[in-house]
Structure 1
């Protein structure tokens, strides 16, 4: 009886000894349906050390005693007696970032560090470093920081080719949302080459359903090899929380901007085609004899621009840039930005139902004429206004229509003569007393002395306004 009782115990011990090594085996990334019960842990372990938390602070003016800002007190004691003195307070924000170089170069979103007086980078092991800003690209929402790790080589993520991504690929979003510690979410690539109203220009985003929350901004989107395919930047949500529609800046654009940042180029220069572009819709496709809508339609062309040099014509349809199809102005700008200035871009163009190949130089928008920033003093007819000459380069940097010309208002001082005229930043002064104004010099020549009435013609919000300014 003893031997019969011992036999199951021996068998159980043998099974346990056989099972233990299986349990001790290193987990692997799921590669098939049969392996779905395996874990993403190996990828996460490799990625997390290179994902950092970013904390920023800035001083802002504010009143810490709002009950003193009382109309009744102002009535009895005067406007200033009842008003609390402005005091300084510190505003903090949180975000994520990714270490790209072992010497301490970190990438994050520009909106994470915008306006910051102090930037702190906190590593996954909780060590913190003060960071300096190397470079930023506001339009692509990218910023590059530098921390000093001494003689240590920091863990990094390798940049993958985002063009190799396909819809349906598994991806992981890694960040530090709300400062609660490292967080990982999984999902798939929902779309590539995505653009949408409200998102940055000149970027074709990766769309994913991996949960991205505000604190994840600047964090990593990685593939199952642990390589960086994108920088998480935005979510589409009315509530501010993730609903499965997130966007990441492709790694290919990060690579280009990184090269500029480490070479010391703080100013980002983009290739400028010098032509108006619009997506081809069904109506345009039918009018051009196209079987289906694709490409971007060329409109106005700026003289002496890259488009003019390449002999693009109004009505041409650009189908691809360097072999990659383009379907909207954002994707065109993105493809042009993936190579440095001075290198030609190879375009496939549809012209009169025939495909032709054109080489277009990548060149920055010219700043001709020079801005000539001018501020008018209190004794001038436009006292308190700062104006500048418009040019394609100036307009590009300030988000204005690149084709606009003339003199633009760039600043209006409060309670100044210009403010009482209701001049606003972005207004374009086009005429004085019926005389056309095309430059700051012409404006200064046309303006009368203060005290004399004059007629002022201003373009504002796409409309032309003419009014009389009294002395």
Structure 2
């Protein structure tokens, strides 16, 4: 039990003791013996509590139904789904039932609902509330008993909270007692309780001692909004419920059969620190409500819905419970000017699409100074059309002085395809101003791509860089090496080019093996030469059980190991690639989408995407390569997936290897994969 949970339990015990002490004092004034009073009063209090809880459960029981699903998927996002009964809450007498969306992740072929009087009815899923992770069902029935909602203002921290489900026994609800730990949690959406919440009672009710329903039980997480987010907290003393009053407020919209989506304004912050950063806007998304209202990059948000805001967390809290179609009153400061607007939030924004100039930057020493050298110019690209050449140096873009490749990539990404931008280059010590019309990111790989030479550095430079990066005099290890993880069955191996120097930034290829074989020797032999040529560090991770492969709970091992390599070695954050093959594809896909702030490339060999890709976001740019043999049964599937990714404006390459069946890519394939990795910083 955590210290926070212990504190909550302690508070409840203290409340009971204070009540008993007050009663004892009263008894003492009339001459009753304290020892007898303590024993009898404690017993009476427990009996009264038990009677109150039973009464509350009996009040809500007619409004709870048992839900059974038939057929569907066994696994979602590497999470094994159960097929046992779950719970729903009746919200209208004519057959509408609300439940947790988690209960229907398997996409069941049919849904059956059993009411408190034993009637078993077929149910139909009407709509989903994707903001609060709820699903509305409909059964053909009349005279049902809808749950009585608790008024939101009357829900108080510390009051009793009873979690009730009907999964274990159709005739008798399952019950867990706790308190209300907090309100307006998970960015304003939920009530938090320490009552035991788990898949056994997801979709059930959180009720007060009067039997009124405070909320509907769901798994939630403030860090993640995936379908299985929050499940890992079951029975931990941290559970959530969506206020029933909020559910009823949007019930008519759900009844129309339209899913409710998060309300989007169309901006992101310059700071990634939710609590310490300011509210300066980094980007206003094209054709978003913010864009149409005239807001710009660099504006400072000062007020939302009448609330003064100074931190990103406050803004996220206001927006957290907003849904598509809701209104948002916003005020910003631009210099000394204040601008206000009322926005109508939307459920979907036009896909983010960065313009393409058509150059690869030179891999230069970290902090090289003014401008970015041109390493290579894509044929027929906007850069080629205005005459850019290798060895030119880009010193300005859109009136912004350029000091690094990362900054230039960011600036180019702010211009959409078909829009114009001025580029100032330096050639032969003379500056030229050129106007380019940006294009679309190419889907095909260049057939040949010259490597970017990493120059030798002086011993003094190498030592200084080593000390700065490793924070030690010991030089980071190079060559092939590995390590077992303490207190774990996981392990990893790595190959760092012998020519490694922390004065330059390298790509990082993270290899996750398929079940049954780590393929370590084959991957090392296949990649060693390309890793040396193109400045790629290889990191191969091993599942705890190699035979059965990767499990959902190993995601953090992968994440933490990659982060530790970032600290030890000089790695370009924009060229960290997650690589999977065959049946490791689902786990690799899940990781890439879960940790978008870390992985910027997803490379799947003879493996398809196992999840729907999230929205393409400018702050989490992700690029794809799908590769397989022309005779691989997965060939047409991967080709269609690459086309689908491009349709939602993701840069995606599909590479077909002639006459190759289902196997790991051959030498030609490794060459193509290495060229793709080496071009991730194209702009």
TM-score over 0.5 (shorter chain): yes
Instruction: Determine the structure 1 residue equivalent to 2:190.
Output: 205
Alpha-carbon deviation of 1:188? 1.9
Select 1:43's aligned residue among 52, 56, 69.
Answer: 56
Are 2:56 and 1:93 equivalent residues in the alignment?
A: no
Instruction: Determine the structure 2 residue equivalent to 1:298.
Output: 281
Higher helix fraction (1 or 2): 2
Matches of 1:99 and 1:460 in 2, distance apart?
Answer: 54
Gaps of 5+ in 1: 1-31, 63-89, 196-201, 286-295, 370-396, 431-436, 467-471
Instruction: Determine the structure 2 residue equivalent to 1:102.
Output: 93
Residues 323-402 of structure 1: matches in 2 within 5 Å? 327=313, 330-337=316-323, 341=325, 344-347=327-330, 357-367=340-350, 398-402=613-617
SS at match of 2:615: coil
Alpha-carbon deviation of 1:123? 1.4
TM-score normalised to the size of structure 2?
A: 0.42
1:83-125 superposed Cα distances (whole Å, 9 cap, x missing partner): xxxxxxx973321110000011000011102211121111122
Residues 59-458 of structure 1: matches in 2 within 5 Å? 92-114=83-105, 115-149=107-141, 152-162=142-152, 165-179=155-169, 181-195=172-186, 204-234=189-219, 241-265=234-258, 267-277=259-269, 281=274, 283-284=276-277, 298-313=281-296, 314-317=298-301, 319-321=303-305, 327=313, 330-337=316-323, 341=325, 344-347=327-330, 357-367=340-350, 398-403=613-618, 415-417=633-635
Matches of 2:132 and 2:627 in 1, distance apart?
Answer: 25
Distance of aligned partners of 1:155 and 1:209 in 2 relative to their CA distance in 1, 3 Å threshold: same
SS at match of 1:331: helix
Are 2:680 and 1:464 equivalent residues in the alignment?
A: yes
| Aligned 8 A contact 2:327 2:342 in 1 | yes
Matches of 1:333 and 1:424 in 2, distance apart?
Answer: 32
Higher strand fraction (1 or 2): 1
TM-score normalised to the size of structure 1?
A: 0.58
| Aligned 8 A contact 2:163 2:205 in 1 | yes
Distance of aligned partners of 1:355 and 1:40 in 2 relative to their CA distance in 1, 3 Å threshold: farther
Gaps of 5+ in 2: 1-44, 76-80, 222-229, 353-611, 660-667
Matches of 1:415 and 1:465 in 2, distance apart?
Answer: 32
| Aligned 8 A contact 2:86 2:203 in 1 | yes
How many residues of Structure 1 are paired with residues of Structure 2 in the alignment? 348
| Aligned 8 A contact 2:150 2:212 in 1 | yes
Distance of aligned partners of 1:456 and 1:353 in 2 relative to their CA distance in 1, 3 Å threshold: farther
Distance of aligned partners of 1:209 and 1:459 in 2 relative to their CA distance in 1, 3 Å threshold: farther
Alpha-carbon deviation of 1:272? 1.8
Distance of aligned partners of 1:203 and 1:147 in 2 relative to their CA distance in 1, 3 Å threshold: farther
Matches of 1:366 and 1:324 in 2, distance apart?
Answer: 26
1:117-148 superposed Cα distances (whole Å, 9 cap, x missing partner): 12111112222111111112345321111111
| Aligned 8 A contact 1:110 1:143 in 2 | yes
SS at match of 1:299: strand
Matches of 2:336 and 2:177 in 1, distance apart?
Answer: 45
1:223-276 superposed Cα distances (whole Å, 9 cap, x missing partner): 3443332211128999875131111123354234422221232x4344221111
SS at match of 2:60: helix
Alpha-carbon deviation of 1:316? 1.9
Instruction: Determine the structure 1 residue equivalent to 2:466.
Output: none
| Aligned 8 A contact 1:298 1:318 in 2 | no
Alpha-carbon deviation of 1:407? 9.9
Distance of aligned partners of 1:322 and 1:142 in 2 relative to their CA distance in 1, 3 Å threshold: farther
SS at match of 2:84: strand
Distance of aligned partners of 1:187 and 1:460 in 2 relative to their CA distance in 1, 3 Å threshold: farther
| Aligned 8 A contact 1:109 1:218 in 2 | yes
SS at match of 2:319: helix
| Aligned 8 A contact 2:217 2:240 in 1 | yes
Distance of aligned partners of 1:282 and 1:352 in 2 relative to their CA distance in 1, 3 Å threshold: farther
Instruction: Determine the structure 1 residue equivalent to 2:70.
Output: 57
Instruction: Determine the structure 2 residue equivalent to 1:9.
Output: none
Instruction: Determine the structure 1 residue equivalent to 2:475.
Output: none
Matches of 1:61 and 1:243 in 2, distance apart?
Answer: 25
Distance of aligned partners of 1:141 and 1:439 in 2 relative to their CA distance in 1, 3 Å threshold: closer
